[in-house]
Amino acid sequence: MTLTGNVLSLLANDVAALVLCAVFIGAYQAYLFLRVRRDPHYSVQSINAIARTEWVKQIIAKREVITAVQTLRNSTMAATFLASTAVLLTVGVLTLSEQGDKLGSVWHSLNFGGAINIQVWTIKVLSILIDLFVAFFAFAMSIRTYNHVGFMLYVSAHTTHPILNADYIAHHLNRAGSLYSIGMRAYYYLVPLVFWLFGPGYMLIATVGLLFSLNRFDRATR
């Protein structure tokens, strides 16, 4: 087999691993979505959505604005910390990309079935950057929505405006929670992308292990 054939074969291994991991993750997300459609109490996320809706109704009924502000502040601080972490990780990955030619031999010392040329390395780093940008955007939008909910809760406790009812506010609060979950998912899926730097086989193993863990922790306790 020629050198070009060897390179194409190794590149095909990386592409196949990436496609398989994407299929596994997509299948799991579809499975989780269908299970929640059949049983709204199946996942932790759906239980949290129900809890947030009831929380908004209680806050408006009892006019406990101070409690609402404190709770939203905690959620905003958590999302802010994670968004800042995504920025720091992005800077670190960009620094790493500048030293790809120096670190390639070290990172690929355990790579037994993937391509080791600089172009593939750049694609792997770019995939990590895209994932981090998704996490940052999701957490930033979550912070924005939490701030809007704070204004809505305060106004709803002192006015009878027909739009600012409990269901409308709960919808926005659940949207903030969903954006926060998307950001956390992006962090989780960062694990197989990092292992992809070492080789396609490690990426597949990391993806299977991650999905096994998510399947356990996404289910609500009965």
Percent of the chain with pLDDT over 90: 47
Write the DSSP symbol of residue 109.
G
Is residue 116 within 8 A of residue 104, CB to CB? The reply is yes
Higher-confidence position of 52 and 13: 52
Cα–Cα distance, 193 to 206 (Å, whole number): 9
Q: What per-residue confidence (pLDDT) applies to 81? A: 96
Cα–Cα distance, 119 to 112 (Å, whole number): 18
What type of residue sits at position 193? L
Tokens, residue 80? 């802010």
Cα–Cα distance, 140 to 164 (Å, whole number): 24
Instruction: List Cβ neighbours of 25 (8 Å cut-off, separation of 6 or more).
Output: 189, 207, 211
Q: What per-residue confidence (pLDDT) applies to 20? A: 92
pLDDT tens digit string along 67-119?
888 889 999 999 999 999 999 999 988 887 766 555 555 555 556 655 566 77
Would you give the distance in Å from CA 67 to the centre of its chain?
Answer: 28
Q: What per-residue confidence (pLDDT) applies to 64? A: 79
pLDDT tens digit string along 47-70?
999 999 999 988 888 877 788 888
pLDDT tens digit string along 127-140?
999 999 999 999 99
Across the chain, mean pLDDT equals: 84
What does the pLDDT average to over 191-197? Answer: 89
Q: What per-residue confidence (pLDDT) applies to 115? A: 56
Classify 39 in phi/psi space as left (phi over 0), alpha (psi -120 to 50) or beta.
beta
Cα–Cα distance, 73 to 53 (Å, whole number): 18
For the four alpha carbons of 28, 130, 117 and 102, in that order, the dihedral sign comes to negative
Q: What per-residue confidence (pLDDT) applies to 49? A: 92
Q: What per-residue confidence (pLDDT) applies to 15? A: 80
Cα–Cα distance, 181 to 72 (Å, whole number): 16
Q: What per-residue confidence (pLDDT) applies to 54? A: 93
